[in-house]
Homo-oligomer: A and B are copies of this chain.
Amino acid sequence: MTFDIKQAAAEAKAAKSAIANLSQGKRKALLESIASMLIDATPSILSANQRDVEQAKSAGLSASMIERLVLDESGVKAIAAAVTEIANQDEVLGSVANIKPLPSGIQVGKMRIPLGVVAMIYESRPNVTIDAAALCLKAGNAVILRGGKEAQHSNKALAAVLHLALEKAGLPTGVATVIPVPDREVMAQMLELSDSIDLIIPRGGEGLIRYVSQNSKIPVIQHFKGVCHLFVDAHADLTKALPILENGKTQRTGVCNALETLLIHKDIAEQALPKIDAMFTEKGVKVHACEKSLAHFKTSEAVGAVEDDWHAEYLALEIAVKIVDDFERAVEHIQTYGSGHTEVIVTEHLGNSQRFMREVNSSVIMLNASSRFSDGGQLGLGAEIGISTSKLHAYGPMGAQQLTTEKFVVYGDGQIRQ
């Protein structure tokens, strides 16, 4: 029997006022109770997770996929700790910004309110189920979660905790729905439900995100790939550039804020490339080098770059390298091949730093800092639901505030329009 998503979405819509109008104190208490109930439910969560892991193994999933799937006791503790952190974050709802008196005598401000019903579509990692639910509840939204098939038993166990906490708080369980049977058909039906769902956030592989974007009748915020660039300007301080390159490419390779392309200004290439070559050799980074730079890689594994390399999100110890003639060519390259995620310039030149910050319009632009800082926690948002690479509504790391909107509030004393 397939899951009745239309019914579930209608229940979420009916439940959204209950969570939106919950007082700040009660919303905090709800999140705290989810955190403590997660700890209490550790045995049932771990045994459900065990089932997923066994099925994944017998289905022959890759070791890295299984690694992302596995939960242990400390994993459950970490999930609960994230919920506690979200509970303790600043309140995002209800604040009224910039109340201004206007010539007509009315006063106008903007009040931050929930979006309504937020649906999230994601893959494997079970922690996303709780992270996303907690952020949506913090922002006063009802939430519908459609996780990956491979994590379905874990997600069911986590859903049971969410429902227990909602019931204890006297709230309808429609506030948080975890789709129990994550088949394609249910997802396709969900994308049609623009009358009840206000926002869809797909997070996962390129195919999934494209499918959702192309087929959704509901607004979508894409969390797309990260083809992050480092531009080493002619005026770069190489004692900064080298660690930033090493940190960005090698600290973790499977993440969207890892570096994928290095652009080097021709005037500093001779000086920089031997050092870079040595570092790549030591770290085992494979290079896809442009024609001009290829000969400089004497000890590291290097091949000639092809057009596809400029688009590549390697998510591995591999990098594309290109020597550029000037600042403009670097910006052009990023505009042509970037994915709107994160771009870094290393330079000591004030004018070039200002131009780069202004003219490159990816979601996070950095001067003399590692791309690895492109993350909600590192940028001061607390937890994040993901990193938006679409410009509408939210661009870059999204926290609870990015799951809200603002309405106008007008205070009068009987004013009418003349």
Contact = CB atoms under 8 A, between A and B. Distances in A.
Interface of A: 17, 20-21, 94, 100, 102, 104, 106, 108, 111, 113-116, 194, 198-199, 213-214, 217, 219-221, 237, 239-240, 243-244, 246-247, 251, 335, 357-359, 361-370, 372-374, 378-380, 390-393, 395-397, 405-417
Contact of A410 (B198, B367, B393, B411): B367
A12 to B, nearest CB: 15
A237 B137 CA distance: 38
A369 B405 contact: no
B365 A243 contact: no
A220 B220 CA distance: 10
Contacts of A361: 20, 113-114, 116, 407
Given A111-B365, A365-B410, 17 more contacts: A20-B359, A104-B378, A111-B358, A116-B361, A116-B391, A198-B391, A221-B392, A247-B416, A361-B407, A363-B407, A366-B410, A366-B412, A368-B411, A368-B412, A369-B412, A373-B415, A396-B407
A268 to B, nearest CB: 16
B373 A410 contact: yes
B116 A378 contact: no
B213 A194 contact: yes
Contacts of A406: 395
Contacts of A409: 357, 364-367
